[in-house]
């Protein structure tokens, strides 16, 4: 139950703070409750099916609901076992009578029109009672891989059975391979890669794909029912129970593989304003409006009102429901600056009661600040990061742009040889938490570090465009080198690393920068690229493994910045990390050096601590194996177009129990 609100702007309506909106099911009876304070009449209509067809024949009954004036909640209890019964409300506001599904729907029939009563226990897959959240101690220990359910397996290169391609159940297939090869795909591939969490593009019920045919493609940033899984990813969208069970099977399979599940939640706008269950239930309440005009900071036709008591409550209830019922391990908030910071902090507080380690982060921007309807002081922008919990992260677009240049244009960033925005890279490497280089975050846990996401060109396509190349399958050295530098920056930085699925094997969308409704042949993961770009995959994999062995990189405290020393000489970036209080199984010193020029460059390592004399190279131009490849000879030069990661030899020898010094000759720095 939500007991605390920092603001109450609802002068007109009485509100409701209990947690039983929607239906409360038992085998003996089901009670329906809907908050509709402005309504003069509400009827409950029960159906035997969930689809529009044969309406007259499928109506079971229509019942009058009763209003509690103190709260504005209408309720009705029906005797009997209602599992599988579909329902709508007929709500009269003024002269207008609207038929709508339940705002608090947990299940629906095909294409969302009717809600369904569901006994959730019957949707639990075998072993669900033993399924546990996959969590990391601190947000900065997460390594996030962003994937669209359909893209994951829609291509026949996934090796997933035809019936499961593009569905939740594709995640449950183990030992999948690219046909006729030994290349692992999907879940078995992810286990090897070493990421800790997948972030799923929208998996709540959205409106842009016809569930009856499933033909269209869409990312799904157009919510219809927030608390219902999308039907087009299930094997039977007509039966409201199936998608719930299959969604849980997906979560269970990922959890069994040791991978956490982050949901991309889009509370900032809906598929439709006027036709949404929210507007039909309580007109002119849940959305920000100016007269009859919907404000549009979401850029998608309407923006919701997180500051209103009952939408705030809805967001909190919804997030809690996914975390508890579906064991979701993290939430990524789309266009988070459409929301007020009080709401986001309350969500953090409520999630903390379930588990403090549940991830929370979002996009710190809107599509149109001028049409947001809440002040710049109140919204979740980077400027207001200090008002938010330090465990609510924000995507660091500054570092993203500093690394590679503009997201869709042909401008260059540091990795393509430009030194114009290098300070943004330096600030980002310090988790946007350094007063010296630029700070908006309170701590590194607030900074999501990345170079690519579902929006915009893939990193590979961006590199091709900015280098004026046209071959999407190129193995051009320079492009591969630049990709490696980007990976090194993202993984060997403070903050929370994040990447678009397939970034590690040169994923291409053939130059399409906004593929939200492009066909599968643009969006699908082509798993054969994991073979063609194995060198890149191995490089990412190595960096991920190294990150996990250097606690300072995943330190979310404010002190982490002070143990890290960044230098930049106009060409080369060098960062030294001192973890001198670390345990015997941890590296004490690590340094990353990056050269974006075509020449060997000198550099200098600096630290406020005394630096060791002996170092080993564990990442160089060619490899990021994490194994000591050779001793670093202090000549302090770095090869062209390369990133170097070195660790102090004493720690390495101690950790790896090396009895004799490495005897590999020093022939290259
Ligand atoms: Ca849908």
Task: Give the CATH number for residue 592.
Answer: 2.60.40.1180
The domain tally of the chain equals: 2
Asked if residue 82 lies in contact with residue 71, where contact means CB atoms within 8 angstroms, the answer is no
Is residue 441 a part of any domain in this protein? no
Q: How far is the CA of 211 from the centre of ligand 1 (A)?
A: 6
Beta bridge partners of 43: 64, 90
**What sign does the CA torsion over 25, 29, 31, 32 have?**
positive
Give the pLDDT of residue 191: 97
Q: How far is the CA of 252 from the centre of ligand 1 (A)?
A: 22
Q: How far is the CA of 133 from the centre of ligand 1 (A)?
A: 26
Which domain-ending residue is among 117, 148, 181?
A: 117
Is residue 277 a part of any domain in this protein? no
Range of the domain at 78: 9-117
Model pTM above 0.75: yes
Is residue 651 a part of any domain in this protein? yes
Q: How far is the CA of 89 from the centre of ligand 1 (A)?
A: 19
Which domain-ending residue is among 117, 151, 166?
A: 117
Q: How far is the CA of 209 from the centre of ligand 1 (A)?
A: 6
Is residue 571 a part of any domain in this protein? yes
Please give the Cα distance from 299 to 439 (Å, whole number): 28
Task: Give the CATH number for residue 31.
Answer: 2.60.40.10
The residues, any chain, with a CB within 8 Å of residue 182's CB and separated by 6 or more, are none
Q: How far is the CA of 223 from the centre of ligand 1 (A)?
A: 8
Q: How far is the CA of 212 from the centre of ligand 1 (A)?
A: 9
Q: How far is the CA of 77 from the centre of ligand 1 (A)?
A: 28
Q: How far is the CA of 67 from the centre of ligand 1 (A)?
A: 31
461 tagged catalytic: no
Look-up: residue for tokens 């020093």? Answer: 666
Is residue 90 a part of any domain in this protein? yes
Give the pLDDT of residue 663: 53
Q: How far is the CA of 203 from the centre of ligand 1 (A)?
A: 9
Cβ neighbour number for residue 182 with a 10 Å cutoff = 7
Asked if residue 397 lies in contact with residue 427, where contact means CB atoms within 8 angstroms, the answer is no
Which domain-ending residue is among 60, 83, 117?
A: 117
Active-site pick, 102, 205, 363, 503:
363
Q: How far is the CA of 645 from the centre of ligand 1 (A)?
A: 47
Q: How far is the CA of 109 from the centre of ligand 1 (A)?
A: 9
Please list the ranges in the chain whose pLDDT falls under 50.
1-8, 669
Q: How far is the CA of 221 from the centre of ligand 1 (A)?
A: 11
Active-site pick, 173, 334, 631, 648:
334
Is residue 598 a part of any domain in this protein? yes
Is residue 250 a part of any domain in this protein? no
DSSP string, 235-303: S-SSSHHHHHHHHHHHHHHHHHTT-EEEEEE-TT--S-STTSHHHHHSTTTSB-EETTEEP-TTSSS--
Asked if residue 332 lies in contact with residue 203, where contact means CB atoms within 8 angstroms, the answer is no
Q: How far is the CA of 541 from the centre of ligand 1 (A)?
A: 35
- Give the SS3 label for residue 406: coil
Q: How far is the CA of 414 from the centre of ligand 1 (A)?
A: 42
Q: How far is the CA of 510 from the centre of ligand 1 (A)?
A: 28
Is residue 13 a part of any domain in this protein? yes
Give the pLDDT of residue 200: 98
3-state helix, strand, coil in the chain (%, to 5): 30, 20, 50
Please give the Cα distance from 143 to 330 (Å, whole number): 12
Please give the Cα distance from 266 to 363 (Å, whole number): 11
Q: How far is the CA of 323 from the centre of ligand 1 (A)?
A: 21
410 tagged catalytic: no
The residues, any chain, with a CB within 8 Å of residue 301's CB and separated by 6 or more, are 269, 272, 273, 294
Q: How far is the CA of 312 from the centre of ligand 1 (A)?
A: 23
DSSP string, 103-161: TT-S-B-GGGSSEE---GGGGPPTTGGG------SSGGG--EEEE-HHHHH-SGGG---
Listed residue (604, 489, 575, 616) closest to 540, CA to CA: 489
Asked if residue 587 lies in contact with residue 652, where contact means CB atoms within 8 angstroms, the answer is yes
Q: How far is the CA of 155 from the centre of ligand 1 (A)?
A: 22
* pLDDT above 90: percentage of residues in the chain: 89
For residue 574, the 8-state DSSP code is E
């Amino acid at each position: 139950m939500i007991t605390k609100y920092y603001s109450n702007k609802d002068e007109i309506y009485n509100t409701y703070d209990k947690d039983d909106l929607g239906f409360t099911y038992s085998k003996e009876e089901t009670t329906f409750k809907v908050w509709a304070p402005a309504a003069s009449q509400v009827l409950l209509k029960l159906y035997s099916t969930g689809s529009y067809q044969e309406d007259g024949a499928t109506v079971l009954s229509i019942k009058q609901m009763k209003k509690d004036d103190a709260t504005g909640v209408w309720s009705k209890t029906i005797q009997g076992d209602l599992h599988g019964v579909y329902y709508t409300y007929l709500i009269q506001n003024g002269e207008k009578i609207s038929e709508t599904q339940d705002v608090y729907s947990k299940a629906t029939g095909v294409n969302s029109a009717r809600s369904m009563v569901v006994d959730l226990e019957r949707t639990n897959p075998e072993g669900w009672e033993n399924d546990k959240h996959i969590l990391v101690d601190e947000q900065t220990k997460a390594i996030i891989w962003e994937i669209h359910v359909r893209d994951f397996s829609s291509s026949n290169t996934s090796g997933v059975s035809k019936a499961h391609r593009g569905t939740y159940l594709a995640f449950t297939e183990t030992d999948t391979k690219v046909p006729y090869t030994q290349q692992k795909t999907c879940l078995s591939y992810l286990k090897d890669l070493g990421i800790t969490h997948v972030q799923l593009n929208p998996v709540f019920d959205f409106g842009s794909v016809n569930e009856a045919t499933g033909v269209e493609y869409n990312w799904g940033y157009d919510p219809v029912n927030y608390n219902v899984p999308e039907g087009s990813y299930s094997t039977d969208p007509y039966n409201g129970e199936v998608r719930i069970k299959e969604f849980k099977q997906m979560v269970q399979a990922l959890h069994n593989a040791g991978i956490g599940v982050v949901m991309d939640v889009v509370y900032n706008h809906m598929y439709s304003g006027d036709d949404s269950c929210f507007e039909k239930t309580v007109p002119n309440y849940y959305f920000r409006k100016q007269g009859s005009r919907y404000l549009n900071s979401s850029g998608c036709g309407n923006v919701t009102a997180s500051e209103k008591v009952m939408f705030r409550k809805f967001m909190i209830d919804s997030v809690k429901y996914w975390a508890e019922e579906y064991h979701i391990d993290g939430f990524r908030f789309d266009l988070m600056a459409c929301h007020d910071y009080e709401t986001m902090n309350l969500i953090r507080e409520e999630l903390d009661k379930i588990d403090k380690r549940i991830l929370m982060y979002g996009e710190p921007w809107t599509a149109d600040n001028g049409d947001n309807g809440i002040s710049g002081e109140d919204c979740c922008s980077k400027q207001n990061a200090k008002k938010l919990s330090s465990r609510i992260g924000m995507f660091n677009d500054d570092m993203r742009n500093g690394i590679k240049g503009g997201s869709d244009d042909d401008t260059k960033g540091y990795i393509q040889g430009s030194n114009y925005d290098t300070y943004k890279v330096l600030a980002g490497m310090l988790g946007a938490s350094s007063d010296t280089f630029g700070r908006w975050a309170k701590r590194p846990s607030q900074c999501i570090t990345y170079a690519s996401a579902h929006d915009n060109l893939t990193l590979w396509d961006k590199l091709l465009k900015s280098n004026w190349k046209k071959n999407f399958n190129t193995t051009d050295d320079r492009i591969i080198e630049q990709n490696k530098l980007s990976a090194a920056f993202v993984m060997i930085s403070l903050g929370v690393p994040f990447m678009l699925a397939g970034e590690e094997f040169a994923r291409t969308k053939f130059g399409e920068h906004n593929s939200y409704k492009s066909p599968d042949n643009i969006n699908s993961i082509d798993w054969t690229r994991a073979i063609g770009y194995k060198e890149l995959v191995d490089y990412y994999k190595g960096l991920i493994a190294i990150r996990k062995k250097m606690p300072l990189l995943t330190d979310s405290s404010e002190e982490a910045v002070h143990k890290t020393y960044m230098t930049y000489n106009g060409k080369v970036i060098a960062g030294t990390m001192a973890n001198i209080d670390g345990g015997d199984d941890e590296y004490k010193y690590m340094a990353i050096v990056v050269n974006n020029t075509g020449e060997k460059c000198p550099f200098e390592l600096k630290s406020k601590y005394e630096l060791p004399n002996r170092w080993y190279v564990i990442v160089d131009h060619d490899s990021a194996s994490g194994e000591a490849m050779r001793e670093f000879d202090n000549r302090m030069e770095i090869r062209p177009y390369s990133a170097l990661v070195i660790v102090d030899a004493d720690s390495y020898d101690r950790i790896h129990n090396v009895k004799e010094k490495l005897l590999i000759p020093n022939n290259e720095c």
